[in-house]
Structure 1
Amino acid sequence: MKLDWNESLSEYETFMVLSLIVLSCVLTYYFHFVLGSGILFTHFYYIPIVLSAVWWKRKSLWVPFFLAGVLILTDWISPLQSDYVYDDIFRSIMFISVSLITILLSEKIEKSQTKLKTSEEMFRSVVESAIDGIITTNMLGEVVSVNESFQKMFQCSEEEVLGESVKKFIPHRLRDKYDEQMDQFRKTGEHKLVGTFESVGLRSNGQEFPFEISITNWEGDGEVFTTSIIRDITYRQSAEKTRAILSAIVESSAESIIGMDLKGNVLSWNNGAERTYGYNVKEVLGKSSSIIFPPGSDELSSILKTISDGEKIDHYETKRVTKTGELIDVSLTVSPINDRSGNIIGLSSMARDVTREKAAEEALARSEAQLSMITDNMADIICQASKDGAYVYVSPSVKSVIGFKPQELIGKSMFDQVHPDDRSRVTSCMQNALTKHITQSVQYRCMKADGSYVWLDTKGTPISDKDGLTSGFVCNSRDITQQKNAEDALRDSEEKYRTLIESAKDPISLYDENGIFLMSNKAGAHSMGKEPADLLGRSLRDFFPPEIATKQIELIREVIRTEDGLDVEMFVPYGKDQWFSTSLQPLYGPDNRIHSVQVISRDITDIKETQIKLEQALQDKEMLMKEIYHRVKNNLMVISSLLNLQSRYIKDEEARAIFKESQERAQSMAMIHERLYRSADLKHINFGDYIRKLANDLFRTYVADPSRIKLELDVEDVMIDINIAIPLGLMVNELISNSIKHAFPGESNGKIRVKFNENDNQCVLEVSDNGVGFPPDFKPEKADSLGLQLVNSLTQQIGGELELERDQGTDFRITFQQPEEN
């Protein structure tokens, strides 16, 4: 039976205690005063005292037994045992003293137990009411306790998890790592705060979710426990992803998005704002946004007041000022920003640069006005018709062409004015345009207001609605009555034309798209050993080898397809090898469609043979030029070698340096002739490639420590005429050599940069270094060194301009114009 000393006594227990007290008193009186017994039988009065103490202060089971032992001990040690009165007084004093001490201790124990109980209840209340899941495990990883939030989080009951391994809530892929950590923990025996980190949990239904966990270790009753506080961060991670996505959207938006506080200071500034206004985020963050408002404008104050009143400013157009001072048009929307309590803490401004749109609208308005003026005054008729041919719009020019006013035709069918004999052709043209969705042309007779007819040439273009479906046509009609009359006159002169064709000495033929002869003059027929009548209806394949006939038919079909003429040269091995210069032109019929191709050929065999001879002579010339370049290169290299050999016998260092410089100049010219020899173009070389090769050769020759001097090349591939390339190559050699030798004395470091580019036929060569530079009073045109004199002289030779800058080191810039090609 478990005793609970904090519970109150029942009525039965109270009765039993009182009965024992009374019985003890009676027995004590009887043995002590009636029988006069000794110590062991005369102290029954202690029993009610002990029971009273137990009844009064039932805080601990050891109190009454402790008091009884003390009283019995005093009986044995009391010096007044011969006198019972004094003996009882002594024992009473002892008893009162011990009782007082016991009562004080009992009260202190009671208060401690009350505080402990209150603390335990408070701890359990906090644990159970916590939003986060709380779990405690022992050293073996077995669950000792969990709170209600943990059970909800992992979808399990307390009975299902108590005594179970904590690995039940860890995904399988992470359990081995958990075991390793626990083994390490048991080996080291460290009892300390583990920390806070993010991990993954496993619910009872197998679903995984991310959480944040704080772990601490503590000891109790000689055993180490681990308490973990777990927080589900699924929503937080989702919110972070959403925030990152929204941030990316804002930053990548082409529109300007600015966040401000209620004083107009900039809190955020996206890339769109940077592109729109020209300021980067560091220049504006924390500063007033008034810098983008026009000077003297009170618009910012008005916006801040409107937002402070909780109102949103929808799209409206206004002006803003960019960093460069340019005034631009923007479409602006401003919205308040609220905190969680609904208080307005700032505003978000979204603006779109509509400067181009405004300009486009103004240009469109001007274009529409110009178009209206053009359509009002043009000779052609511009109209819009529905799919069935009903007029939707007709330009005012219709009055001058057919005598009707625009309002008299709108809503009526265009077929009302089409000649009955031409309606089928117009209908066919409309259907073809609808089917192929392409512009179609048709010629027909149109009735005027006075009942007469004029010929119109109409081009109709299908138009589509917003759904992409053809909704009608836009037509351009032109009065071609005079043209038709001219065609009639032309047909009258057809016989004359035929006479001219027949009398021509060049072969002239007409073919259809399949290469069938429709007509041939005598010269054409006789060139194939036939008469004109023998060719009619026959194919080119009947008279020419298959490959020649196929090529001719392909050219005929290309003319029909493109409706453009062709001029070609053809080799025809017919009887004897012949070359013909052939012109192919499309011929249109009455329906304005190509019905044949006219081919006029001229024998150019003699001319072609002469051309072949000239090309052969040109090739021979190129070979001769290559040989000349090769020999010049070899001679220059011989000169360079001789200078090198001669320099070995020169003791004076200055004289030897002069020989070395002359050797480099010869090598730079030899390099140009070598590249000309290897190039397909004998008059030009790729000077960018030449500079790269020459600069690197010089750098390797003179720079013993490449880590001390750096060489940077920024050269474009530009084709330079040989007459400029040689002096320009010498100048490059002199300037680079001069920088390498003199710009960095001793062990100083530096950089040499060579830049070469062309823009609009103007070339710029720049050689610079950040070395010691020239004296302030130095003038390159008055230099006494041979190298700079050579640079000045060669610059004048190519018609260039030499500039020298000495701000940071030395910068030579030579600008010259490429010669125009003949």
Structure 2
Amino acid sequence: MLQSALLKQVIDAVPDGAAVIASDGTIRCVNDAWRQFSCANDGDRTSYYVGENYLRVCRDSSGEGSELATRIGAGLSRVLAGGQEFSAEYPCHCPSEKRWFMVIAKPLDLDGARFALVLHRNVSAEKRHEIEATHAEQNAKNLAAIVATMPDAVVGLDLEGHITSWNEAAQKLYGYDRSEVIGRSVEFLFPPDSSKSVGDHIADIVSNGLRNFEVVRQTKTGQRRRIEITAAPIRSVSGEIIGVSNVNRDVTEQRRSEQRLRDVLDNLFAFVGVLNLEGTLIEVNRAPLEVAGLEVKDVIRKKFWDCHWWSYSPDTQTQLQDACNRALAGELVRYDVQVRVAGEQLIWIDFQLAPLRNEDGDIVNLIPSGIDISDRHAALKALKSSHDTFRSLVEHSPFGIYTVDADFRIAHVSDGARKVFANVHPLIGHDFADALRILWPEPFATEAIGRFRHTLTTGEPYRSPRTIERRSDIGETESYDWKIERITMPDGRPGVVCNFYDLSERQRYEEHVRFLMREVNHRSKNLLTVVTSMARQTARGSSPDEFVDRFSQRLLGLSASQDLIVQGNWGGVTAKDLIRSQLNHLAQEVRCRRVKIAGPDLMLTPGAAQGIGMALHELSTNALKYGSLSVPDGTVAIGWGASQGDKIFHISWREHDGPEVTPPEKTGFGRTVIERMAAISVGGEVELVYGPTGASWTLTAPLAQVVMSAEAELP
């Protein structure tokens, strides 16, 4: 029955997409509109969903629109169960347009069975009209709200100049309430000396469209205000001009500010100008003209680089042309340069060239400006010189100076401090705590780190006048006088500066001085003992005159040895220097022709030098009086050296071609010195022989008792 020709004709005549739904929700038949919609929207083109269950599709719907599908399914179920007609609107948009449909389910009884006729009606046109009407209404409300709340005064006029609208900003600007002005001619705002009537203004606006101009208007209290007006014609729905809208902006203070700015610029010694895109100067303020002794006609419409300020130097002109090209490319150019002023004088300015853009972002002008920085430039030059001098003093100071930054890293190290950090790599930027643990042992390293952190945190300075510690990296004990203070680093954050002086050399010097003082004290005591003994022995059996002569000679010999010891800083005397010093009392002819000395370079200890020197003095004195040097042809040979594998030292005195000598009958001081004192001073032995041509004397001793070794040398 459902497929009867009559039913098919009936539903095909319906313009909406239609389907007949059985009581179980199965689609039994559809009309032509349904089939066409299915084909046009990539639907089922074979059965057109006939046989599908409409209710199940609604129930199984998910995602966006599932709630609406559920509601439609429920409404259709009620219709099939005996309920009345059901309808619902739903969107069905496609890529090319937004669409809305109305689904209508009507009960249908055929041959006693319950069916539903489901229609899908396209209501997009009605929906769009509804939306447009809503938007238009809202736009009107928005426009009215905008006008009412605009910060600028908005005044509406009819073509005769009567006020038709007046917002709150207009009331604040002019002082009139809306009820006082609606319907009145706007000319009551014109000052008495106004040159144009409202009719003239309206005519210009109507004939020329949108216009911007400035006028003077008068408030309710009689104040004259400079007003910037943006005017436009008001049109009816048919396009006919029915009035004029005026946006009134009070620019009185702005114009006053602009004039004040111009006055300020003209009274500042600062260059301000305007260039066109070809680099021609088209406007300039007064100050640079006055300082250069120029007039406007001297520079206006000239290429900027050809003007008096720049034309003193081709290089300066080229630099300016390059700056103009860079500014034309959109760059803000700034640099310090010298310009010429009156009297051919050059001054430094901070020069800037900026591009000026219009509302579209296009560059329309170049704006040069400059500020006199001659004083600043001189101050910077002096500051740099001072900085360089100070830096040189710091860098090359014998004192050590280094800084630690806020991150506790080494920031700066002077030349005088680099030796201390020689084993820290890399140096600059190294963690200071790690560096100290490389240099110093515990617990001193941790203590020093704590001192630095405390000063960095609190600003409390610290000084240690004498720190003596053994270095971990080099294994040597060093001494320092050091002080730390908190400073502000170049990045603005706090840091610590350490100034220190290496006392190690001073400490070693002081120890050396103490050693020398002990040595002097010891030597002095020994020397006094020797002098005392020498005086007693010399005095025995001597007349007063003989005592003075012999004692003086012996003192001179002892003094010669002592001079060499002192000159050597108590560090020893060479054998050759010692021998020569004890022969100085001989005549030059004797020393040069009749005394021969030969031996290696050996450094004798101070004790050995004193004992051997006294013996040599006594031998030379005896030789001059009784031995080989007492006759014209007699000679002396003095030799020294080491033997037995460099373990034994020996020195000898040999007289030749002299008279026969015999041992003295008495043992005086001289014999004691020659035979005993020299031997005792070096822990050795003396052999003395009185021969037919003169005396022969030999001293042997352990080499270590006579000659200074590297270990025995003083620091």
Provide TM-score, normalisation by structure 2: 0.37
Using CA pairs under 8 Å that are at least 6 residues apart, name the structure with larger relative contact order, 1 or 2.
2
Q: Which has the higher helix share?
A: 1
The structure having more radius of gyration, on CA atoms, is 2
